[in-house]
Chains A and B, each alone.
Chain A
């Protein structure tokens, strides 16, 4: 396994840590000996296997609430001296039932826009306030295969809101570059994010039948982007699907 020794002892916040991708990212960053604050999208349950170093905030709406984001960031800075990395995994997840646009309710659309996009906005704004002051830091957004090469009917709400994060990353890469901060994206395989071997395909669309890249493979790219090995990489999207 690749080891990025410069990550050791640095602190990371991972949102959506209870998603398949989020969980894999937490495990990868802990394996790299980072201090990981795992922020779940939902209230932790008995079964949830959150990181030992988690500061799981027990507020259901914390992912999209300004005060909670700000408080969590301050807690992490207080505990670890700063925030070196944000990985925003939280947000819409791929649907497994092949929904069409007419199946997407007002509430479901709103949920995707708020959790994926407003969440990315609030959490990146929250950590960047601290990163700008230290003149260093790294942000990685988790986007989706559906937003890069739509093959599976994972839902237009999932595809377009995850796709928005590639634009946000490109913008922030330019705005935050002069502050020494890098912002990148990893687009994960839809089936891997959903935890299934395959999803319904979009109509009339042929594709090679390849097994989906695993969450762990996506998580390794996150570690790479966070490390000094990617010091000259900002504003890009790495596609972790085949």
Chain B
């Protein structure tokens, strides 16, 4: 007999070692995420996938499912916390959607739509994060970084280059590139790297293609992140 746990009262089957997030999505239940990616081990930093398992808050992406667990996800409490986390991500960076090439394709924005985030709620940090346009084919706009480390992981594990890393600590944490000059143009980064196409927000932008698809016709203009994610997980 397959094992199962209850997600918001609905039975979800799982295999040993499968995480709550994977099992839920496979069974057609949406749990949001920003830093999780099917090609990498769980990261657990964004905390968007927070759920309450057996009464305790855990990251669904990093927690193996357990037989008989009662897991709460789509509840006012948990969704309220997710909204709060999204608001935190918006105020700590400079997310000015109207001028961002990624608008409509951005997972942070799409999640904010999904959770009906109407206000940033907190004071904005307005950090100073200069852009890096030194590379011929790719622009880096650090203003939008959410520290999911997908580019760090993709460059290291798929591209074998380690172009990106995080430095600093706490609210001062920031993305750096693998060059003494600090310029992407001085690294061996290429627009064909996996890391060039993995950013869920608008930090790593291939040049010359920004508005090939007009605003209003982009991924999350035509489908919600919920439906898109579930389609990809089935």
User: Are A and B part of the same complex?
Assistant: no
CB within 8 Å of A: which residues of B? none
Q: Which residues of A contact B (CB under 8 A)?
A: none
